Amino acid sequence: MTILRATAAVFAFECRRALGWRRGLLVLGLASFPAVILWLIRHEGGQLNRQEAWPLALFVLIPELVCLLGLLLWVTPMIQTEVEGKTWPHLAVRPAGKLSIMLGKYAAGVFWTVLTAWLALALAMWVVWPLPDATRVARVLAVLAVLSSMTYGALFSLFGVVFLRRGMIFAVGYTLVEFLVRLIPAIIRQLTVQYHLQSLLVAWMHWEEVNRRMGPFFGVTTPAESIATLVGYTVFLLGVTAAVLRRRQLVTAVETA
Amino acid sequence: MIALRRVTKLYGSVIGVNDVTLSLPQGAYGLIGPNGSGKSTLLNLMTGQLRPTLGEVRVFGDDPCNNPDVLRRLGVCPEQDSVYADVSGLEWVAYLLQLHGFGRREAWRLAADSLDRLGMASAMRRRMGSYSRGMRQRTKLAAALAHDPELLILDEPLNGLDPIGRHEVTVLLQEWIHRGRGLLLASHILHEVEAVTQSFLLICGGRLLASGSAEEVHALLAEIPNEIHFRTNDASRLARRLVEEKAAESFRFVGEDGLIVATRNPAVLYARLPQWLAGTGIEVRELRSTDESLQALFSALMRIHRGNA
């Protein structure tokens, strides 16, 4: 109960602290770049011939790119900022300190990322309007943004806690490796987050034809399996992050004899 | 209250604390040592932020590492002079109380009370980025005290406070001890500690060199005058005033506004300075012990400890 209450306090505190013109500009910048890219494609007379092309472009730009960038900014450095700012000792000596800081900051980072992704989706949809089956596209991508932020957020939390200062580098490196692994037609790609997000996209958009043609590429897991996998990853990764943070000795000023 | 058995802490190949054994029953203690002597490492071990490489740490009979039951009973004021610049003192202290397990409403009430007690009533709703160092120090102390812990662990709590602030905090800590609460106060300035408690632990080079009462430490210090460094708007008038009060043995002027005073009664000087300067127009902008005398004592103790003296 104490942990839950303290986590809620951290979440509220972090959200309040984030309210400012700096965060506003970041959100606006991140949210508008998919719209700008799509507008440039349209403005240059680019046509995406197939019906699935625009939703696919939106998927790559929003639940994948915008969410990953948001998480890199707001989740990966969550512990490092406290350690570097030398505020960590004040938090770590509180009974609910370490775990609730981690969970609360993770929740706040995911919250801001999802908000940014939804705003990006709204702007991008406006640019590519009219879009066939627009309501379904918006609904599916909005849910995928939540799942993407939740799972990658847990993964990036772990990188941030294990590698601290180099957390962002490892997070970017992992994303690139995952992108390549996903392309390998072997069972290993089923372990990637992207594989499950894409499987959900294909299933929820009812792209049966795409699935038939590119089944090996998009995957064959059912939505229930994919959601269970993503939720499982999140819980597991947050658990590992908590365990690592519990073991780490993050003193900010090492006084030596 | 606190027990350490053969505790050693290594940072790689560097020794932070070296084979320390001590047992402190409920009470108030001053942990004194020069900068870099291992005080903060020792306090971090006691608050569970560090694990000993060797040995065992017990606080209230338990290992303090990741132990909410122990941490709930502690009030800790770390040395780090860092707070969030973009939130108010009230919001920050209330936030820390919520991490302590208090509900939101109760946390805000306790935070306001504690900040009020530390003389921050008028500034508590301002952003901490606008605080002076002394105000930040008071806010940190308020955070450590707000939940009324059984044991207060303070690392250099008087750093950055002006003479009035030092006096106020000293009185507050005296009252704290008077209530029968535990206190461990780390400082590199003997007289700061002496004004609060009469039981000392002397640490240097990561080793616990000596422990004892004020008289015992003073006997060691008797032949070594203490130096206090002032920054003031009128160094020569301040020097004259201290001579009138027979509070100084010698002076050195440093730059335009610096004055180093050698005294054998620094505690008296600290206690009476505000009264001596009242109405004179002399402003003391900074006051700190140059600490050379204490360093000399520690050097002597280290030599004894190593068997060289």
Are the beta carbons of B50 and B206 closer than 8 angstroms?
no
CB contact, 8 Å: A17 with chain B? yes
Is A95 within 8 Å of B15 when comparing Cβ atoms? no
A5 with B78: Cβ contact below 8 A: no
CB contact under 8 A, B51 and A249: yes
* Fold observed for domain B1-73+150-212: Rossmann fold (3.40.50)
Whose CA is closest to B134, among B115, B156, B162, B110? B162
- Note whether residue A255 is domain-resident: no
Query: What's the number of CA atoms in the CB half-sphere (13 Å) around residue B301?
Result: 24
pLDDT tens digit sequence for B204-263: 888 888 888 777 776 666 656 677 888 898 888 999 988 888 888 888 898 888 998 888
Give the chain A residue nearest B139 (alpha carbons). A90
Cα distance between residue B93 and residue B110, in whole Å = 9
Residue in A15, A121, A136 with CA at minimum distance from that of residue A67: A121
Any chain A CB within 8 A of the CB of B8? no
Decide if B68 touches A, using CB distance below 8 A. Answer: yes
Model confidence at B112: pLDDT above 80: yes
> Do the chains contact at A94 and B96, CB–CB below 8 Å?
yes
- B117: tokens are 């007690």
pLDDT band of A128, cuts 50, 70, 90: confident
User: Is B36 in Cβ contact with A256 (below 8 Å)?
Assistant: yes
Q: pLDDT band at residue A207, thresholds of 50, 70 and 90?
A: confident
Edge-first strand order for the sheet with B207-213 is: B74-77, B151-155, B182-187, B28-32, B199-204, B207-213
Give the residue with greater pLDDT, A235 vs B12. A235
Where are chain B's structural domains? 1-73+150-212, 82-149, 223-300
Q: What is the model's pLDDT at position A58?
A: 93
Within a domain: residue A195? yes
- B103–A87 C-beta distance less than 8 A: no
Q: Is residue A229 part of a domain?
A: yes
How close B215 comes to chain A (CA, Å)? 27
ipTM above 0.90, yes or no: no
Averaged over A93-102, what is the pLDDT? 92
Evaluate whether B229 touches B258 at the Cβ level (below 8 Å): yes
| Residue A44, pLDDT score | 73
Distance of residue A242 Cα from the nearest chain B Cα, in angstroms = 12
Phi-psi region of A83 (alpha: psi -120 to 50; beta: other; left: phi over 0): alpha
Q: Is B129 on the interface with A (CB under 8 A)?
A: no
- Indicate if the pLDDT at residue A13 is higher than 60: yes
At a CB cut-off of 8 Å and minimum separation 6, what does A228 contact? none
Angstrom distances, CA of residue B84 to CA of A27, B33, B128, B133, B140: 22, 29, 7, 13, 11
CB contacts, 8 Å: A6 with chain B:
98-99, 101
- Cα of B59 to nearest chain A Cα, Å: 13
Token reading at A43: 């403005």
pLDDT > 70: what percent of chain A? 92
Three-state SS for A157?
helix
**Chain B, 138-197: which have a CB under 8 Å from a chain A CB?**
140, 143
Q: How many CB atoms lie within 10 A of CB A26?
A: 18
The CATH label, of 3.30.70.100, 3.20.20.70, 3.40.190.10, 3.40.50.10860, for the domain at B223-300 is 3.30.70.100
Mean pLDDT of chain A, nearest integer: 89
Residue from the list B51, B78, B91 with its beta carbon closest to the beta carbon of A89: B78
pTM for the whole thing? 0.83
Q: What is the C-alpha to C-alpha distance for residues A188 and A132, in angstroms, rounded to an integer? A: 34
Domain that holds residue A43: 2-247
In total, the C-beta contacts within 8 angstroms joining chain A to chain B are 120
Q: Would you state the pLDDT for residue A189?
A: 83
Chain B CB within 8 Å of residue A231 CB: no
Gap from A247 CA to chain B (nearest CA, Å): 9
B193 pLDDT band (50/70/90 cuts)? confident
In this predicted structure, which of B41-50, B62-71, B170-179, B205-214 has the lowest mean pLDDT?
B205-214
Give the chain A residue nearest B47 (alpha carbons): A93
B100 vs A contacts (CB less than 8 Å): 94-96
**Residue pLDDT, tens place only, A140-152:** 999 999 999 999 9
Q: Does residue A136 form part of some domain?
A: yes
For B208, the closest chain A residue by CA position comes to A257
- Hey, is the C-beta of A89 within 8 angstroms of any chain B C-beta? yes
Domain count, chain A: 1
Tokens standing for B290?
């140059």
At position B303, the amino acid (one-letter code) is: R
Judged on CB neighbours under 10 Å (0-12, 13-18, 19+), A129 is: exposed
Which residue in the set B11, B50, B71 is minimally distant from A94, CB to CB? Answer: B71
Write out pLDDT tens, residues A26-70. Answer: 999 999 999 999 988 887 766 655 677 888 899 999 999 999 999
Residues in Cβ contact with A211 at an 8 Å cutoff, skipping those fewer than 6 apart:
A202, A203, A218
Query: Given an 8 Å threshold on Cβ–Cβ distance, is A93 in contact with B78?
Result: yes
Cα B258 from Cα B102, distance rounded (Å)? 47
